[in-house]
Structures are given as C-alpha cells and as structure tokens.
Amino acid sequence: MSTIKFSDLGLSQPVLRALAECGYTEPTPIQEAAIPIVNAGLDLIASAQTGTGKTAAFTLSIIDDIATRPSEKGDTPLALVLAPTRELALQVDENIRAYGRHVGTRTAVLLGGVPSGPQIDRLRRGVDFVVATPGRLIDLVKQGEMILDDVEFLILDEADRMLDLGFVHDVRWVADRVPKPRQTLLFSATMTGGVRSLASTMQTDAQSISVAPPAAVADNIEQRVMFVAKADKADLLVELLKGDDTERALVFTGTKVAATIVARHLEQAGIRAEAIHSDKSQRQRQRALEAFTRGKVQVLVATDIVARGIDVEGISHVINYELPEDAENYIHRIGRTARAGKAGVAVSLCCVEDVSYLRGVERLLKTPLIVFEDHQWHSPTVAACLAASARAARQRARAGKGRGSGSKWAR
Ligand code: AMP
C-alpha cells in the first residue's frame, strides 16, 4: 500500500475532488513515480501497461498546469496525446474529462473512421487537450484545422503498439512539427529497442521509470490451459461460456476472420456475442463495447489490436481461443480480467498449432501454466507435442552448453 497521498503530489483541490469522485483513494505506483517528474517539467519514458493507472499519471499534472495558468486561455491545444487505437483514444479522452471536470478542461478527440466535421467544429471552439490517432490528426494538421504551434506537452501512449501498427513515420511526422522546447512523455507496455530509438529522437534527458516488469501478471488471475484439437475448440468454448461462473468473457482470436467466425458460432449456440476488430467501423465497435459494458452481450470476441483500449469492469474470464504469437500479448490479454482488485480467470485453449506459442508464454512467465484435463475434449496429442517440444529444447540447451555458447531457447 502506498504511503503517498494524492494531496502530497502538488495537485490542486478541484483535481483532488475529481479524483475522489472517481473513487481513487490513493495513487497507484506509476502515478506516485510519474507525477513528480511531470510536475518538474521533465521528459519521461515509462514502462507501464494499461491497467496500471498510467492515464492519470500523465494527465493530472498537465490538467492542473493548464487550469491554473494566470493568462486567459488561448484556443489552440496545449497538450497532445497520440494513441494507437480509437478505443484507447476514447478511453484517454474520457479520463481527462473526468479528472478535469472541476477545472473546465476542454478536450477534443480526433479519430479516423468517422466524419471529421464534428471534430473540426470542436477544435474551432477552442480546446486544451487533443487526444488523437495519428492518421486523422495528420489530415487535420494538413488541412490547417489542428494547430500544433502552441503544443507544450506531447504524450505518446502505448508506444510499442504504435510501432506494431506501423505508425512510426506518422509519429515522427507529428513530433517534428510540435515546437521545442516542450515536454515529451512516452508510455509503453514493453520497452523494445524500437521504442527506445523512437524516444531518443523525440526526447531530451528523459527520466526513465518502470512500474511493473513486462512479464508481471496480477496475482488474482487464475491461469489455466486446456489441451484440445483445433476442430473441438468451438465446442469447448461454448461449454466454458455456459459454465455457471462465467459472467462476462473476453475471447481472443489471432485473426479478424476467426473473431467473426467464433462470434457467429457462439450466437448459433445461444450465447450473446459480438466480434470487435479493426475492420469494424468506429460506430460498430462502440456499439459492441457498450452492449458488452451494459451486459446485453455476454461475450466479446476480439483481436489483440483493439484489446488494449477495452477497460470494462467485471470481465470474469479471458479466453485465449488462439494463443498469441507474441508472448507479451498474453499478458496484455489476461490483464483485461481481475481489474480493480477483483479475481479473474484466464483460460488458454491450446491445440497442436499453439504449442510453440504456449512455450513462449511459459518462458516469459518463467512457469508452466496449470493444465486442466478434466473435460471431454482433452487432447493427449497436444500434451505429447508439448512434452516433445520441451524435451527438444532441453537437448538444444545441453548441446549449446557443450559448445560453450549460450542458447537463446535455454535462457
Ligand atoms: P489506465 O492504466 O490509465 O488505463 O487505468 C486503469 C484503470 O484504473 C482505469 O479504470 C482507471 O479509472 C483506474 N485508476 C486509475 N488510477 C486509479 C487510482 N489511483 N485508484 C483507483 N483506480 C484507478
């Protein structure tokens, strides 16, 4: 438990009041570490995942700074947040409005996939904060509707995801046009070489903080793996979702096509489900998320790209219909359950094709997942395949040691 209180962090009374109304009683570790750095006007590079409270960590001081300026507010934005996905951008915008509700923080959110007219109107009425995905932002800058000249705070949220989605040039394009001196804050769930290199081109003497190791999984998530033939996954999924303890579930697939097929299969089995992925329009995604949040839909079937912005309370189960190729996505996926101190269950359905990905997850977690065999679709073939893969890895490690060279597999 933190001994630092929000009131120790130099925030103004109206912002403290808003935090109390949000139900925040004490700062999270990232807030405790980041807020003094942001207050001091320094650049920051922070390794923190969604779910750690990072949005408040980077917005609170800026909201306060802008609100307490003695001079009359201008109409062009002072703070710009770049987010990789529309869901995350909406989430960040919603948080800023909540934290800034007593100081009149004016925000605009600029997203592709919806008409730009209302966004332009919003900008013309005057804003303090802009939260944007890169494509639409650049369009509006080029049209002369979004003015970057007065931006003093540039924030890059989920920088690793930004790079995964191929936004590196867009981010650089924007950063080159935000005047210096400025304060640049960069948040990333994982600190890859690409993220560091991007940061180095955007920041000056950045303070570095890391609040959770990349492979940290909340203690209150019960993780299980079930071995199953690929052809039986859909039936096993239906059985899991019909279980008594499954209230609200998020199911992950590796592809958009699979998400659509799985959602359709669930609907046919009488389970209210919606697919959510980047081919869906902004409106469709919002509608699906709302239905899920309100409990009209029990299951959301999602791909990794849209998942990070999903901050819905009460997700009892995360089910990996397919294991992710990138083991770190496993951590991001299962972090959607067990929010706000509640318990959650993460189940991975592993067929032969998933075995190497399961090995990757177990290497990252540094522990094997508990296998749940007590179901009618249990596949001994998958178990044998996993054992063979582990054996081969051990042999490779031994051979590597014999040659005096370290094996990547064994590390
Ligand atoms: P974030 O990592 O910014 O997406 O935040 C994850 C969740 O934690 C959101 O639902 C926030 O509303 C919530 N949150 C952020 N800061 C706090 C806090 N200090 N106390 C309790 N909840 C918080």
Cα 275 to ligand 1 centroid, rounded to whole Å: 26
Report which of 222, 181, 228 is spatially closest to residue 205, judged by C-alpha positions.
Answer: 181
Residues 45 and 53: their CA atoms lie apart, in Å, by: 15
Q: For residue 299, what are the β-bridge partners?
A: 249, 273
Q: What is the pLDDT, as a whole number, of residue 411? A: 23
> Which H helix or E strand runs over 132?
strand 129-132
> pLDDT digit string (tens) for 8-39?
999 999 999 999 998 888 898 899 999 999 99
pLDDT at 393: 82
Q: What gap in Å lies between CA 194 and CA 406, rounded to an integer?
A: 24
Closest residue by CA, ligand 1 atom 6: 51
**What residue's CA is closest to ligand 1, atom 21?**
24
Is residue 214 lining ligand 1, measured as CB closer than 6 Å? no
Dist. CA 206–CA 212, nearest whole Å: 19
pLDDT at residue number 137: 98
Residue 70, number of CB atoms within 10 A of its CB: 4
Is 59 close to ligand 1, i.e. is its CB under 6 Å away?
Answer: no
Say if ligand 1 is within 6 A of residue 87 CB. Answer: no
Amino acid letter for position 202: M
- Check residue 400 and give its pLDDT: 67
**What's the pLDDT score for residue 65?**
93
The predicted pLDDT at position 314 comes to 83
| Model pLDDT, residue 407 | 29
Domains, the chain: 6-210 (3.40.50.300), 221-395 (3.40.50.300)
254 lines ligand 1 (CB under 6 A): no
| pLDDT-flagged residues of the chain (< 70) | 1-2, 71-73, 212-216, 307-309, 340-341, 400-411
- Whether the CB of 203 sits within 6 Å of ligand 1: no
- What is the Å distance from ligand 1's center to 23 Cα? 10
28 touches ligand 1 (CB under 6 Å): yes
Residue 273 three-state SS: strand
Query: What is the spatial distance between Cα 132 and Cα 55, in angstroms, rounded to a whole number?
Result: 14
C-alpha of residue 31 to centroid of ligand 1, in Å: 10
Measured in Å, residue 52 CA sits from the centre of ligand 1 at: 6
Report d(CA 281, CA 86) in Å as an integer. Answer: 10
pLDDT of residue 401: 56
Side by side, the strands of the sheet bearing 299-302 are 273-276, 299-302, 249-252, 317-320, 344-350, 221-227, 370-371
Integer Cα distance of 160 and 297 in angstroms: 30
| CB of residue 173 inside a 6 A radius of ligand 1 | no
CA distances 170 to 136, 165, 266, 338, Å, are: 10, 11, 38, 34
216: tokens are 């940290």
pLDDT for the residue numbered 71: 65
Q: How big is the CA angle at 108 (ends 102 and 110), to the nearest 5 degrees?
A: 155
CA–centroid distance, 61 to ligand 1, in Å, is: 16
pLDDT of the residue at 331: 87
Q: Which atom of ligand 1 is nearest to the CA of 95?
A: 12
Q: Which of 7, 11, 35, 55 to mutate to test the pocket of ligand 1 (most atoms within 8 A of CB)?
A: 55
Residue minimizing CA distance to atom 5 of ligand 1: 53
Ligand 1 atom nearest 23 alpha carbon: 21
Q: How far, in Å, from the CA of 232 to the mean position of ligand 1?
A: 38
- Separation CA 189–CA 119 (nearest Å): 29
